[in-house]
Amino acid sequence: MSTVTADTHAHEHADEHAHAGGFLSTYVFSLDHKIIGLQFLFSTLLWFVVGGLLALAVRWQLAYPWSDMPIFGKLLFAAEGGQIAPEFYTVLFTMHATVMIFLVIIPILAGAFGNYLIPLMIGADDMAFPTLNMLSYWFMWPAFLAFGASFFVEGGAAGAGWTSYPPLSVLNSASPGSLNGQTLWLIGLLCVGVSSMMGSVNYLTTIIQMRAPGMTMFRLPMTIWAMFITAVLQAFALPVLTAAGVMQIADRELGTGFFLPEGVAANNALPAAGGGHPILWQHLFWFYSHPAVYIMILPAMGMVSDIIACFSRKPLFGYKPMVYSISGIAGLGFIVWGHHMFVSGMNPMLGMTFMVTTMFIALPSAIKTFNWLGTVWGGRIQFTTAMLFALSFVSMFIIGGLSGIFMAATPVDIFIHDTYFIVAHFHYVLFAGTAMAVWGAIYFWFPKMFGRMMNEFWGKVHFFFTFVFLNCTFYPMHILGIVGFPRRLADPYHYETFRHLLPLNQFMTWCAIGMVATQIIFAINFFSSMFFGKKAGRNPWHANSLEWMAPSPPGHGNFDFQPIVYRGPYEYASPEVETDYYPQTQPPPEKQGDD
Amino acid sequence: MNRFWCIVFLLVPIMGVATFAVAPYYNIWFPRDVSTHGITIDNLFMFILWITGIVFIATEWALFQFTWKYNAAHNPEPAKFSHGEHTLEVVWTIVPAAILLFIAIYQMDAFAAAKMRKPNMQPTAEITGRQFNWDVRYPGPDKELHTLDDIVRYDGNIHMPMGEDVLLVIKSQDVLHSFFLPNLRLKQDVIPGMEQAMWFHAKDTGRFDIVCAELCGWGHYKMKARLTLQTRADFDQWLAETYQAEQAMTTAKVGQ
Ligand SMILES: [Cu+2]
Ligand SMILES: [Cu+2]
């Protein structure tokens, strides 16, 4: 039978490669999408720790301004006697955002899960361009090194915010953090961009060209649809950021003036030749960085859809509307960037236009939320750790989505722009949303990646404390924003308006410390389960999609048979079969009779 | 144990609403509004808060209700084999779209008033942001800016008259800053190489914070100024005194 031939062939294939290389080519310079996915996963989780600690330092300053920071203070700023200096505070929040966005969220979604899941879920043996895939990981390393090294150069790491607005970011004299650290920051950003670009080209080609027989576009799991749209967004938005980044480097190093008006100078330095405009950067930057918001949430939405359908034991509600709404985001996502610039000095008429498009981009998110609720409705819900994280994603995304409407309303944005209301909003989307979804995805696909189950009890403990602490940390930021509490201030309390907010900030800081500490539980569970967890088997969750038909962990070439797809991935509780799941590869009953 | 998780999710809307309900009693709410236009912004905020609040409670309640009712341990019924519902999809696309369109149109006027309908008058003063201070330049007795008798103050104490329209020209000397007056519900980034206008009508006297709201370097946090709102008579008197003091200083300097 054909299955047998495919089987033996796969084994020969695997042997060939196993003999071909030793440790280095198998685990380091690997061309296998699964190894590359895991390389991304481990690197990004490591940077997640760095980004989290940077956040704690920010929180410490906001709770106990100018006091010695315990433990880390002595290590990091011995010169100031353990205090956070104001210029270092700007570095802290700049690098916290940079690390979290460019070294954690984007590469963990597209790099780690995209790489690992795309070929498995579409029934391919690898990516279309394995070498390009390997390079996409290795191009992250210059970025790791540039960002990491920038802390140790004169003037310290970049301190002009993750948005890197000129002239502050371009004038060397404007801030200590805008010496060499800023150039390294831009180089790091360019490398991350190149890496993402390589990844997205690969994902698009793979999803279009390498689907298993029978896997039509409308039989793809939502995770794959989300990765596909994400790749489209990256492919079209990244060139703009790359160009803008090169222009900013030229402004800094070659004395061009793309983003500098004539004669601008800071700190009594020589005036710049100029001829450009600071707002140009904002347009170019947000032309990428607004779509990037979706690059940072769509894959999470896709994975959450799969997890929720699986543990509701029920088909995904409104599969096609879900697909259309993420495709809608891909289109609308390119014409809303100006909502970051309502008070920037951009023409207010243009602001109104962007306000209208921005209002409408809320619509696809609303549709998706209703469909998740529809999926849960009438199901037989299993409260696994993965499901808890996925449900919490829905619960938290509602908050993050709704708070966006306040900012889209231009008159309200005049007041809340650059306050903690904004900080609350994007932490609800990116931390309470994406990061929670990523944890859910790790608990869900861990058995596939390592062949063992993660501990459910400790998983739930991890979930509970993360969920409680994150809300206690981020929810009060909304009401801080209503007072007008500004972002990026090392010491907001010397304004009379904000003095009474100190106790609330101290409470938030302790919750943030608790939240970071809780991740120790996750780390121990993660690493001990890798070695001592219960053996998983191929399909521990009784899920439908193709990756669960492969061995856990899948060998080189992924499948030990040729997957043929008969239906979509969400046929749970189907009346056609006895079991409450109906794998995509399982032939329909009548064909079984023919055999 | 499953029910425990449902309760945890139910706590989200309960605590969420409670936080907003309690916050005003601890004064963690909008700072006092002393402008005539501020009420429009506050009301718009409250209007959106009500709409989003209702959606928030409804969706979070649905999440709680569904997880409570349909969990595998307590629900004997088999899962519904449903792939969706066309009518529902249409309803929950059109209803939010209509609400969003309404909000979009409803707010346009307030934004136009704040950023587009510049009053036709001589500027009351010119504000310049620089690392890390707000400088202010008032027209002298000739009532015109950028003449020899201008009154320029570098101490971050900005005086403005109440009870009338005030027009400010704002600009920057070096990097981006943002001129943020929480009590007047005003915020505008200032950009080197560009002159912008800002206007308000204050309805009360008092001293208020001026905050820099756009990152401008290491000293961003201390780029603080104070706004003193006075009656026209007090303002004129203060301006005259300041002018005289400045003239005296100049004469003294020239005399030396
Ligand atoms: Cu945006
Ligand atoms: Cu500033």
From the list B84, B114, B116, the residue facing A321 with the nearest CB is: B84
A74 pLDDT tier (thresholds 50, 70, 90): low
At B212 the three-state DSSP class reads strand
Instruction: Report the DSSP beta bridge partners of residue B169.
Output: B126, B197
With b meaning 16 or more CB within 10 Å and e meaning fewer, what string describes B209-235? bbbbbbbbbbbbbebbbbbbbbeeeeb
Q: Are the Cβ atoms of A411 and B182 closer than 8 angstroms?
A: no
User: Is it the case that residue A24 has pLDDT exceeding 90?
Assistant: no
Q: Which ligand is nearest to the CA of A295?
A: 1
Q: What is the mean pLDDT of chain A?
A: 91
Question: Looking at residue A270, what is its pLDDT?
Answer: 73
Q: Are the Cβ atoms of B71 and A415 closer than 8 angstroms?
A: no
Q: Where are chain B's structural domains? A: 3-75+86-115, 125-255
User: Is it the case that residue A14 has pLDDT exceeding 50?
Assistant: no
Instruction: Give the chain A residue nearest B214 (alpha carbons).
Output: A418
Over residues B75-88, mean pLDDT? 87
Question: Looking at residue A272, what is its pLDDT?
Answer: 74
Tell me what percent of the residues of chain A surpass a pLDDT of 70: 93
Instruction: Report the DSSP beta bridge partners of residue B161.
Output: B230
Over residues B166-191, mean pLDDT? 95
Question: CB–CB of A518/A469 below 8 Å?
Answer: yes
Q: Provide CB contacts within 8 A for B241, sequence distance 6+.
A: none
Chosen for mutation from A383, A494, A544 (greatest number of chain B CBs closer than 10 Å) is A383
Alpha-carbon gap, residue A388 to A393, rounded angstroms: 9
User: Which ranges in A271-384 belong to alpha helices (H)?
Assistant: 278-295, 298-312, 319-332, 348-376
User: Is it the case that residue A11 has pLDDT exceeding 60?
Assistant: no
Over residues B99-128, mean pLDDT? 92
CA dist B169 → A198, A266, B109 (Å): 48, 21, 22
Instruction: Quick: pLDDT tens for A203-219.
Output: 999 999 999 999 999 99
Q: Are the Cβ atoms of A266 and B221 closer than 8 angstroms?
A: no
Instruction: Report the DSSP beta bridge partners of residue B158.
Output: B227
Question: CB–CB of B132/A174 below 8 Å?
Answer: no
Over residues B153-158, mean pLDDT? 93
Q: Hey, what's the torsion of the CAs at A469, A473, A478, A480, to 10 degrees?
A: 150
A13 pLDDT tier (thresholds 50, 70, 90): very low
Query: A200, A186, A165: which is closest to A243 by C-alpha?
Result: A186
Chosen for mutation from B51, B105, B132, B176 (greatest number of chain A CBs closer than 10 Å) is B176
Kindly list the protein residues that place their beta carbon closer than 5 angstroms to ligand 2, a single-atom ion: B 177, 212, 216, 220, 223
A73 pLDDT tier (thresholds 50, 70, 90): low
User: Is it the case that residue A2 has pLDDT exceeding 60?
Assistant: no
Min distance A493 CA to chain B CA atoms (Å): 9
Q: Provide CB contacts within 8 A for A359, sequence distance 6+.
A: A405, A408, B100, B101, B103, B104
Instruction: Quick: pLDDT tens for A495-516.
Output: 999 999 999 999 999 999 999 9
> How many CB pairs below 8 A link A and B?
324
CA dist A540 → A93, B98, B179 (Å): 41, 44, 58
From the list B16, B71, B96, the residue facing A475 with the nearest CB is: B16
Q: What is the mean pLDDT of chain B?
A: 93
Question: CB–CB of B46/B103 below 8 Å?
Answer: no
What is the CB neighbour count within 10 angstroms for residue A421?
26
Supply the DSSP string of A442-496, one letter for each residue: HHHHHHHHHSBPPPHHHHHHHHHHHHHHHHHHHTHHHHHHHHT-BTT-S-GGGSG
Over residues B237-256, mean pLDDT? 84
Tell me what percent of the residues of chain A surpass a pLDDT of 90: 81
Q: Does A348 touch chain B (CB under 8 A)?
A: yes
Q: How far is CA A485 from the centre of its chain?
A: 27
Question: CB–CB of A262/A275 below 8 Å?
Answer: yes
Residues of B in contact with A321 (CB under 8 A): 84, 89, 93
Give me the residues of A, 89-108, that contact B with CB < 8 A: 89-90
Q: Which ligand is nearest to the CA of A333?
A: 1
Instruction: Give the chain A residue nearest B116 (alpha carbons).
Output: A348
Instruction: Quick: pLDDT tens for A323-354.
Output: 999 999 888 999 999 999 999 989 999 999 99
Q: Does B81 touch chain A (CB under 8 A)?
A: yes
Alpha-carbon gap, residue A209 to B206, rounded angstroms: 69
Min distance A381 CA to chain B CA atoms (Å): 4
Calculate ∠ Cα A441-A443-A446, nearest 5°: 90
Question: CB–CB of A381/B71 below 8 Å?
Answer: yes
**ipTM score for this prediction:** 0.95
Alpha-carbon gap, residue B89 to A218, rounded angstroms: 18
Amino acid at A222: M
Higher pLDDT, A27 or B158: B158
A60-65 long-range contacts (CB < 8 A, ≥24 apart) are A60/A84, A60/A509, A61/A89, A61/A92, A61/A490, A61/A491, A62/A492, A62/A505, A62/A508, A62/A509, A63/A502, A63/A505, A63/A506, A63/A508, A63/A509, A63/A510, A64/A506, A64/A509, A65/A490, A65/A491, A65/A493
User: Is it the case that residue A220 has pLDDT exceeding 90?
Assistant: yes
Question: Looking at residue A21, what is its pLDDT?
Answer: 60
Alpha-carbon gap, residue A470 to A475, rounded angstroms: 8
Instruction: Quick: pLDDT tens for A385-427.
Output: 999 999 999 999 999 999 999 999 999 999 999 999 999 999 9
pTM attached to this predicted model: 0.94
Q: Provide CB contacts within 8 A for A102, sequence distance 6+.
A: A143, A147, A188, A189, A192
A77 pLDDT tier (thresholds 50, 70, 90): low
Give me the residues of B, 163-202, that contact A with CB < 8 A: 174-176, 178, 180, 182-183, 185-194, 196
- Assess if CATH 2.60.40.420 describes domain B125-255: yes
Q: Does A76 touch chain B (CB under 8 A)?
A: no
Question: Looking at residue A18, what is its pLDDT?
Answer: 46
User: Is it the case that residue A294 has pLDDT exceeding 60?
Assistant: yes
Question: Looking at residue A16, what is its pLDDT?
Answer: 44
User: Is it the case that residue A192 has pLDDT exceeding 90?
Assistant: yes
Instruction: Report the DSSP beta bridge partners of residue A448.
Output: none
Question: CB–CB of B151/B241 below 8 Å?
Answer: no
Give me the residues of B, 128-167, that contact A with CB < 8 A: 131
Instruction: Quick: pLDDT tens for B190-214.
Output: 999 999 999 999 999 999 999 999 9
Q: Which CATH superfamily is domain A3-591 in?
A: Cytochrome c oxidase-like, subunit I domain (1.20.210.10)
Structure tokens at A538: 């191929």
